[in-house]
Amino acid sequence: MRAAPTILHLDMDAFYASAEQAAKPSLRGKPVVVGGLGMRGVVATASYEARRLGVHSAMPMAQARRLAPNAAYLVPRFALYRTVSDQVMELLGRLSPLVEPLSLDEAFVDLEAGGVADDSASARLVGEQLRTVIRAVTGLSGSVGLAGSKMLAKIASEEAKPDGLLLIEPGTERELLAPMSVRILPGVGPATGDHLRRAGMTVVSHLTEAGEAELVRLLGKAHGVALHRMAQGYDDRPVVAERDAKSVSVEDTFEVDLHDRVRVRAEVERLAARCVQRLRGAGRSGRTVVLKVRRYDFSTLTRSETLRGPTDDPTVVREAAARLLEAVDTTGGVRLLGVGVTGLADFTQEDLFAQAAHAEQAAHAEQAAHAEQAAHAEHAAEDPEGADAVPDEREGPAGEATGAESRKSEETPASRRWPAGHDVRHDVHGHGWVQGSGVGRVTVRFEEPWTPPGRVRTFRVDDPALRPADPLPLVRDGEDYSSWPASLPKSLSGPGPGEGDESRP
């Protein structure tokens, strides 16, 4: 624990939704919900206008639509969010060599390690300047918490939301935490919170009054001891610049339960390939393959297989995932599948068996290709008009395509090519964004982040003048902060106390 509040936690306010509002003038001040728009989509972020209507993150999208039927519902644009996140993280990196990102929109910063703050006054000044510069560079607001520990800095930024700053003076931790819900402490999720509630502990002061021995009895030694320390405000975790990933995984939720076992296996193989792509992109390999299956009744099963050594071989991961699937009953239907790799390493152990499998697979593929070409040629000779027809055996029950053909059919509808909220450019009308599409039409609003709300026009989905576009920057021709923090005048350091910023006690 530090004697000065030199650990800063930044949390961007309603990040995805705020970025969409900044990019789309017509949505500013209106409820915006970002997430999956399908039958089983969930809310990723809701603007504060939507939150006032009861919408929140992780809520089923169907429920959000009932609560806020007039909100704008948009598909995430991660390319834009990553660009803005890179801008924010670059600014944080100027303050200290110790920056610990937690996600695209939040991070811890050790101000003491950067030599920019050593007491409450200097820490507050840096926090105020940071908020001002972030708004000038990105057009978005962020909330800042300052404290002597990571736990309290994060609590402070949450209490400061939206668009505020809260500094917790060291020595006031217990007084601040006492009336707060136990759920505010790290490691206390819904299950632990419910367990504590049944024991009569709902606020943090109840935990300190119960004592360490009682918490150990309820939660076990490790969790009980740690929770008792946190309830008293103790947290000596350092800010770590490099957070080592523990696993790499991908998963998909399906709008309609999958019942066809062949289709389920094909999806597992596709997810395994995506997982290996991410693994290789991170320059890592892994030793344990994990399969996740959520069934029709929401029961979730995980199965794992540990290999003889770390690998990033797509065939090895795919075959391991397929073996794990064989041990799972999917008769009632599958709503979610996931494939992951844990036990990560920075090297790959060559697998002779995998190499042999590759050679055998290549030989079989070549033989199959020759056989298919011969059969196709014979069929064309017998029926020239039907030579390009798709063989009937590629279709499942009721003519439903399976495997790769099914995925191809899912990607072709106009709604897939024109996601709501994504950027487009028209040869005549310029830059805009998709408001919606269907029945062969796409509706576009033409506006840019720095223009007034624009006009709406509708086109055919195959209009050759309309095409997807890259996101525009949220700020154009902003002030030059390349030498910040040294050169930022104090007059630009943001609102003073009583104007959105607070200090606790």
Q: Which residues are catalytic?
A: 106
Q: Tell me which residue of 228, 186, 184 sits closest to 203, measured CA to CA.
A: 184
Taking the CA of residue 226 as centre, how many other CA atoms within 13 Å lie in the half-sphere pointing to its CB?
12
DSSP H or E run through 231? helix 221-231
Terminal CA-CA length for the chain: 17
- Mode of pairing for the β-strands spanning 142-147 and 165-168: parallel
Residue environment code for 81-105, b if the CB has 16+ CB neighbours within 10 A, otherwise e: bebbbebbeebbebbbebbbbeebb
Taking the CA of residue 284 as centre, how many other CA atoms within 13 Å lie in the half-sphere pointing to its CB?
20
Taking the CA of residue 348 as centre, how many other CA atoms within 13 Å lie in the half-sphere pointing to its CB?
17
| CA 252/CA 272 separation, integer angstroms | 12
Q: Where do we find the tokens 């607070």?
A: 502
DSSP state of 10: E
- Distances in Å between the Cα of 274 and the Cα atoms of 60, 402, 417 are 25, 19, 21
Residues pairing with 143 in the sheet: 11
Q: Tell me which residue of 430, 494, 447 sits closest to 20, measured CA to CA.
A: 447
Label residue 70 exposed, middle or buried (CB < 10 Å: 0-12, 13-18, 19+).
Answer: exposed
| CA 297/CA 295 separation, integer angstroms | 5
